[in-house]
Amino acid sequence: MSRAVGRVDLVDARAHLAAGLAVLDSSPWAWPLAAAGLFALGLVAHFPIFTSPVLDVDEATVGSIAQEILRGRHLYGDLVDRKPPLLFILYALSFVIVGGGSLLPIRLMMVALEVACGLIIAATLCSRWRDRLVVAGLFVLGTATFPLADAHAASFEAYLILPMTLAWWFSRKGRAVPAGVALVVSTLVKQSAVFTVIPMIYNLWRQPNGPRKVGIMLATFGGLYLAVGSSFGLKQFLFWNLTGNASYLGASSLLGLAGRAILTLGIYGVSHVALVWLAARGWAERRAHLDLWLWLGSAVLGVLIGQHFFGHYYLQMLPPLAAVAATQVGRLNRVELGRVVGVTVVITALWLGITVFVLPRPDLPPYVRLVDQIDQLSGPDEPILVWGVFSEATWASDRPMASRFPHTNFVTGVDQGGPTPGALADLCADLERTPPRLIIDTSPANVRDSGKAPIRDVPELASVLASYRRAADVNDIVIYQLVNPDVHCGAGSGSVGGR
């Protein structure tokens, strides 16, 4: 008797759900309700954003550069990185709005942009709200299905996906100018977004006056990109965004790259198996949705061109993968649909459990203890230099950067393929102009491979240390304090890339 009652209750629940979704199809409240519900889902799936002040070194690096922008420094001049400017500026705006360096607001915005991206894809390719909610829900869960920093940090890729998706969407609508604008915005978040031009050209070419629209889109993109670059100084902008990345892209052997690519792509495929399965079903109809497959191919190219195959790189593949999958969702029966959703929920929950409760967290000491020492040994306005890659120290202490570089791998070439031309001369010029109050040497602790290039093995920096005393040690990280402001660095002044 109880089993029969249970089956009746389940049937009733399904009937009520179907009726609710049918009402949603004609309700003026459909969009705000869907957006609110998906945002709530996103907050649950991304709950690690509430658990740590900083989730990875990239967040801290972008945050420290944003702090320097607010101090009046200029990107690609006395402040440099190999990334486009938009995310640095968004971080800086967030810091102004909240009145501090908290990363939570920028992460909440990331979740909102991911929800918007999922809804755009779902609304474009699905006519029923049942299918739209499934596609958007799978997309939002997919953004959280990877290791902690890759899935939940407010990264370049997380901010890339919405403008990239809008560029594809506008091109599908035949709107060349806004398509070009959206492509510029996405490329100013991360360079690899430019490959989205492949499906965009295909979409626009098929429209009435297609060649003309392609030309307008490309002219809009090129004109705006060069205009933005010129506002920073075009030569410097192009060097740090394009031509100066050769050494970074050549950092690994071909065999090592192939192994890393196979491993990470396999993990990504298993982690998003429901979307991959749906996309595989759509392969037979690829000619009918060729722009989606071109978009997916362009995103794969964007991942490949980066060559490092970090997990967050694969976020660029998620929108086109979800778009291809969306073409098949409407053909699933209730049982199949339930299995797709169930598998995705379970995999997302497993990733969250592993990354939050099993793998080590990035906010553990020595990061906290190191910042305490920095606070004790320097004033709020006194610059510091971190030798190695430990941007958490600069961001969390809110100390000015003594150098234009957010880390010294530009100088040493550690994990970069080789030093950036002229970086050592630029670093020396910065240190002689404004000697840092503290030098934090992470090489004895080998933080992020900094032990491959000890500071004292660089003659110019050994000369600098003659003006410092050893003031503290934190978990093998050595802190030097300035005692003689007459700092000499053997390389003298110079310029990166011979500018």
pLDDT tens-digit map of 337-394: 999 999 999 999 999 998 888 877 665 657 889 999 999 999 999 999 999 999 999 9
pLDDT at position 269? 92
Q: How far apart are the first and last CA of the chain?
A: 83
Cis peptide before 32 (omega within 30 of 0): no
Q: Is the pLDDT of residue 197 over 90?
A: yes
pLDDT at position 260? 83
In angstroms, rounded to a whole number, what is the distance separating the alpha carbons of residues 320 and 124? 12
Is the separation of the CB atoms in 291 and 202 below 8 Å? yes
pLDDT at position 21? 56
Is the separation of the CB atoms in 417 and 250 below 8 Å? yes
Note the helical H segments in 46-154.
57-70, 86-98, 104-125, 129-143, 148-152
Is the separation of the CB atoms in 197 and 183 below 8 Å? yes
Give the pLDDT mean for 195-208. Answer: 97
pLDDT at position 307? 77
pLDDT at position 10? 42
How many percent of the chain have pLDDT more than 90?
78
Partners of 481 in the β-ladder: 438, 469
Q: Is 462 exposed, middle or buried (0-12, 13-18, 19+ CB in 10 A)?
A: middle
Residue indicated by tokens 């009918």: 288
Partners of 385 in the β-ladder: 439
Is the separation of the CB atoms in 373 and 472 below 8 Å? yes
pLDDT tens-digit map of 53-69: 988 899 999 999 999 99
| Measured CA angle at 180 (ends 94, 326), to 5 deg | 85
Element (H, E) at 438: strand 438-441
pLDDT at position 133? 97
Q: Assign 3-state DSSP to the chain and report helix, strand, coil percentages, each to 5.
A: 70, 5, 25
Q: Dihedral through CA 198, CA 202, CA 205, CA 208, nearest 10?
A: -140
pLDDT tens-digit map of 246-258: 655 555 567 777 8
pLDDT tens-digit map of 94-153: 999 999 899 999 999 999 999 999 999 999 999 999 999 999 999 999 999 988 889 999
Helices 197-205/210-232 angle, 10° precision? 150
Instruction: Give me the DSSP letters along 187-239.
Output: HTT-GGGGGGHHHHHHHHHTSTTHHHHHHHHHHHHHHHHHHHHHHH-HHHHHH
As a residue count, the chain comes to: 499
DSSP annotation of 47 reads G
**Domain assignments of the chain as residue spans, ordered by start:** 30-357, 367-498
Q: Is 470 exposed, middle or buried (0-12, 13-18, 19+ CB in 10 A)?
A: exposed
Q: In what order do the strands lie in the sheet with 468-474?
A: 384-387, 438-441, 477-482, 468-474
Do the strands 384-387 and 438-441 form a parallel or antiparallel pair, or are they unpaired?
parallel
Model confidence band, residue 446 (pLDDT cutoffs 50, 70, 90):
very high
Residues 323-360 as b/e (b if ≥16 CB within 10 A, e otherwise) read bbbbbbbbebeeeebeebbeebeebbeebbeebeeeee
